C-alpha cells in the first residue's frame, strides 16, 4: 500500500500520457497501459491486467456514449460479438479461479500471452492495409449469414484473449471487423468495436476483482490522468496524422511484446 501511494503521481502521469494517445488516435489504451504497469512499475501481471480491464471499461463507456450519440454504433454487430465474448469471458474467469493468479507460474503465462498479443496488435496496426487487401481477395465480403457466425466466433476469441491479457479488443478487433464488413464505414466499425469492449472488459474486470487481481487505488490514479488526457488528445487529434502515429505505436508495441515474450 505504501509503495502504491508513493507511485500515485506516476500512475496519474502514465494515465495522462496513454489517454493523450488514445484521444489522438483511438488506439493504444490497453496495449500500452498493461505493459507500462508490468515493465515500468513492476506490478504483477495479473494485477496489471485486472486493473487495466476496469480502466478500459470506464474509459470506453465514455467513447461509446459519444459514438452512440453520433449514431456510429452498429448494435447488431455489438450483440453478435457479445454473444461470443461474454460466455467465453465467463468460462475463462471460471478456469482462472482454479489457479493462483498471483503465483510465478501464472505471472509467466500472463506475460507470455500479453507479449504475443502485443506482437499481433503491432502487426494489425502496421500491416492493416496488406491484411485487408489479402482478406478481401480471400473472403470477398462474406455473405451476411457467414459474417454473423464469424462475428460470434471473433467474440469468443477476443473474450478469452482479452480476459487473460487485457489486449486485443482494439486494433485486432477492428481489423477483423473490417474484413467481415468491408462495406461498413470506418466510423461504425470503430464505434461498434468500442461499444463491444465495454461489456467485455467490465465483466472480465469484475471477475479479476473477485480473484483479488485489481488495485483500486492504482485504478483511480490512472483515471485521474487519463480522462483529461483523452479530452486534450481529442482536441489536438487533427494535428498529428494517423499515418505518423500508427507506425510509431506499432513499433513500440512490437518492442515491448518481444521483451515480454523473451
Averaged in consecutive runs of 10 residues, what is the pLDDT profile of the chain (262 residues)?
58 87 67 88 92 88 81 93 97 94 88 91 85 69 81 96 88 86 86 90 95 91 86 65 74 88 82
Question: Which pTM value belongs to this model?
Answer: 0.85
**pLDDT for 200:** 95
List Cβ neighbours of 214 (8 Å cut-off, separation of 6 or more). 47, 50, 51, 54, 205, 208
Q: What pLDDT does 235 receive?
A: 67
Q: CB under 8 Å, gap of 24 or more: what pairs does 123-131 form?
A: 123/250, 123/254, 124/171, 124/172, 124/174, 124/175, 125/27, 125/171, 125/246, 125/247, 125/249, 125/250, 125/253, 126/246, 126/247, 126/250, 126/251, 126/254, 128/171, 128/175, 128/178, 131/175, 131/179
**CA 124 to CA 117: how far, in whole Å?**
10
Task: Give the Cα separation of 99 and 162 in Å (integer).
Answer: 18
The three cell numbers of residue 45 are 501481471
Q: Specify the pLDDT at position 26.
A: 60
Q: Most distant CA pair in the chain: distance in Å?
A: 56
User: What pLDDT does residue 127 have?
Assistant: 86
Predicted pLDDT at 79: 97
- Please tell me the predicted confidence (pLDDT) of residue 2: 45
Strands (E), the chain: none
Say how many Å lie between the first and final Cα of the chain, rounded: 30
The total domain count for the chain is 1
42: containing domain: 2-261
For residues 200 and 89, the answer to whether their CB atoms sit within 8 Å is yes
Residue 128 phi/psi, 5-degree rounding, is -60, -45
Contact 170, 63 (CB under 8 A): no
Contact, 45 vs 35, CB < 8 A?
no
| pLDDT score for 207 | 96
Amino acid at each position: 500500500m505504501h509503495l502504491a501511494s508513493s507511485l500515485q503521481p506516476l500512475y496519474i502521469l502514465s494515465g495522462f500520457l496513454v489517454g493523450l494517445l488514445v484521444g489522438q488516435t483511438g488506439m493504444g489504451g490497453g496495449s500500452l497501459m498493461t505493459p507500462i504497469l508490468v515493465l515500468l512499475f513492476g506490478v504483477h501481471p495479473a494485477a496489471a491486467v485486472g486493473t487495466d480491464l476496469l480502466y478500459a471499461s470506464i474509459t470506453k463507456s465514455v467513447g461509446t456514449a459519444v459514438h452512440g450519440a453520433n449514431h456510429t454504433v452498429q448494435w447488431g454487430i455489438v450483440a453478435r460479438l457479445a454473444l461470443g465474448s461474454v460466455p467465453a469471458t465467463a468460462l475463462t474467469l471460471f478456469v482462472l479461479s482454479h489457479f493462483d493468479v498471483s503465483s510465478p507460474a501464472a505471472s509467466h503465462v500472463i506475460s507470455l500471452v500479453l507479449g504475443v498479443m502485443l506482437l499481433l496488435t503491432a502487426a494489425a496496426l502496421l500491416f492493416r492495409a496488406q491484411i485487408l487487401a489479402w482478406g478481401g481477395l480471400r473472403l470477398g465480403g462474406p455473405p451476411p449469414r457467414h459474417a454473423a457466425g464469424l462475428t460470434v466466433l471473433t467474440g469468443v476469441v477476443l473474450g478469452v484473449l482479452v480476459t487473460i491479457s487485457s489486449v486485443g479488443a482494439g486494433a485486432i478487433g477492428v481489423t477483423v471487423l473490417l474484413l467481415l464488413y468491408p462495406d461498413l464505414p470506418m466510423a461504425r466499425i470503430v464505434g461498434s468495436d468500442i461499444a463491444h469492449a465495454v461489456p467485455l472488459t467490465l465483466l472480465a474486470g469484475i471477475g479479476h476483482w473477485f480473484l483479488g487481481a485489481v488495485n483500486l487505488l492504482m485504478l483511480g490514479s490512472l483515471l485521474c490522468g487519463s480522462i483529461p488526457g483523452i479530452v486534450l488528445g481529442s482536441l489536438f487529434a487533427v494535428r498529428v496524422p494517423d499515418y505518423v502515429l500508427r507506425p510509431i505505436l506499432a513499433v513500440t508495441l512490437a518492442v515491448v511484446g518481444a521483451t515480454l515474450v523473451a
